[in-house]
A = this chain, B = another copy of it.
Amino acid sequence: MSEPTKFLLGEGDVPTHWVNLMAELPGEPLPPLSPRTGEPAGPEDLTPIFPLGLIQQEVSAESEIEIPEAVRDAYGLWRPTPLYRARRLERALDTPAHIFYKYEGTSPAGSHKPNTAIPQAYENAQAGIARLATETGAGQWGSALAFACSQFGLGCEVFMVGSSYDQKPYRRSMMETWGATVHRSPSDRTESGRAQAEHTTGSLGIAISEAVEVAAGDESCNYALGSVLNHVLLHQTVIGQEAMLQMELAGEEPDVVVACVGGGSNFGGIAFPFLRRVLAGDSQTRFVAAEPAACPTLTRGVYRYDYGDTAGLTPLMPMYTLGHDFVPPPVHAGGLRYHGDAPLLCGLVKAGAVEARAYRQNETFASAVQFARTEGIIPAPEPAHAIRAVVEEAEAAREAGEARTILFGLCGHGNFDMAAYDAYLAGRLEDPEFSEADMEAALARLPEAPAIA
Chain B proximity mask over A2-32: 1 for CB below 8 Å, otherwise 0: 1011101111101000000000000000000
Q: Is the CB of A73 within 8 A of B376?
A: no
> Which of A276-284, A311-319, A415-423 lines the interface with chain B?
A415-423
Q: Is the CB of B2 within 8 A of A177?
A: no
Task: Give bound CA distance, A298 to B439, whole Å.
Answer: 66
By a CB distance below 8 angstroms, the chain B residues around A88 are 151
Report if A352 contacts B (CB, 8 A).
no
A139 to chain B, nearest CB (A): 11
A151 to chain B, nearest CB (A): 7
Q: Is the CB of A1 within 8 A of B108?
A: no
Chain B proximity mask over A403-424: 1 for CB below 8 Å, otherwise 0: 0000000000001101101100
Given A72-B1, A425-B177, A376-B108 contact (CB < 8 Å):
yes
Q: Is the CB of B419 within 8 A of A173?
A: yes
Residue of chain B at shortest CB distance from A118: B376
By a CB distance below 8 angstroms, the chain B residues around A52 are none
Task: Give bound CA distance, A421 to B178, whole Å.
Answer: 11
By a CB distance below 8 angstroms, the chain B residues around A107 are 376
> Which of A198-206, A208-216, A229-237, A367-375 lines the interface with chain B?
A367-375
A125 to chain B, nearest CB (A): 15
Q: Is the CB of A174 within 8 A of B418?
A: yes
Report if A147 contacts B (CB, 8 A).
yes
Residue of chain B at shortest CB distance from A10: B8
Chain A residue total in the interface (Cβ 8 A): 51
Task: Give bound CA distance, A419 to B173, whole Å.
Answer: 7
Neighbour of A375 across the interface among B4, B77, B170, B373, CB < 8 A: B77
A301 to chain B, nearest CB (A): 32
Task: Give bound CA distance, A178 to B425, whole Å.
Answer: 11
Q: A residues 353-409 with Cβ under 8 Å of B?
A: 369, 372-378
**28 CB < 8 A contacts A-B:** A1-B12, A1-B72, A1-B73, A2-B69, A4-B11, A5-B73, A5-B77, A6-B77, A8-B8, A8-B9, A8-B10, A8-B11, A77-B375, A77-B376, A106-B106, A151-B376, A169-B418, A169-B422, A170-B422, A173-B425, A174-B418, A176-B421, A176-B425, A177-B369, A177-B418, A177-B421, A178-B372, A415-B416
Q: Report A's interface with B, CB cutoff 8 A.
A: 1-2, 4-6, 8-12, 14, 69, 72-73, 76-78, 84, 88, 106-108, 110, 147, 150-151, 169-174, 176-179, 369, 372-378, 415-416, 418-419, 421-422, 425
